């Protein structure tokens, strides 16, 4: 069990995907995403291994949820600045965690 304060330290926000393209040099197939988290946070980049269930062109304009307060991580020659959230389906393919209805970019999960 964790305390609520532990959960509250993880900053999960909604953002809109502005661009998605295959990530060159990644060991596993992934997309390089550019995501708008609104005026407070701005645009951030993320590497996401979501190629089995999500087409790059279909991601543009959709909202995703991401942890925005982890330190950046280097993936190949790409700096991933946020962790886009997902979970495995029955076949082990990552499915994105997303709002069901549109929310303003930058809104926090609680």
This prediction has a pTM of: 0.95
* Mean pLDDT, the chain, integer: 96
Which residues is 79 bridged to in the sheet? 74
Euclidean distance between CA atoms 36 and 82, whole angstroms: 11
Domains in the chain (CATH in brackets) are 4-96 (2.40.50.140)
pLDDT for residue 76: 84
In angstroms, what is the C-alpha Rg of the chain? 14
Euclidean distance between CA atoms 79 and 5, whole angstroms: 29
In the block, tokens 């701005």 appear at: 42
- Report percent pLDDT > 70 for the chain: 100
Tell me the pLDDT tens digit for each residue of 52-86: 999 999 999 999 999 999 999 998 899 999 999 99
First vs last C-alpha separation in the chain: 18
């Amino acid at each position: 069990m964790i305390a609520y304060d532990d959960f509250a330290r993880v900053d999960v926000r909604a953002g809109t995907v502005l661009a998605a393209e295959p990530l060159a040099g990644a060991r596993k197939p992934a997309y390089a995403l550019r995501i708008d988290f609104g005026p407070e946070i701005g645009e951030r980049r993320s590497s996401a291994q979501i190629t089995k269930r999500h087409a790059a062109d279909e991601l543009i304009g959709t909202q995703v949820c991401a942890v925005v307060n982890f330190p950046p991580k280097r993936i190949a020659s790409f700096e991933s600045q946020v962790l886009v959230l997902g979970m495995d389906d029955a076949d082990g393919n990552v499915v994105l965690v997303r709002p069901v209805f549109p929310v303003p970019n930058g809104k926090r999960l609680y």
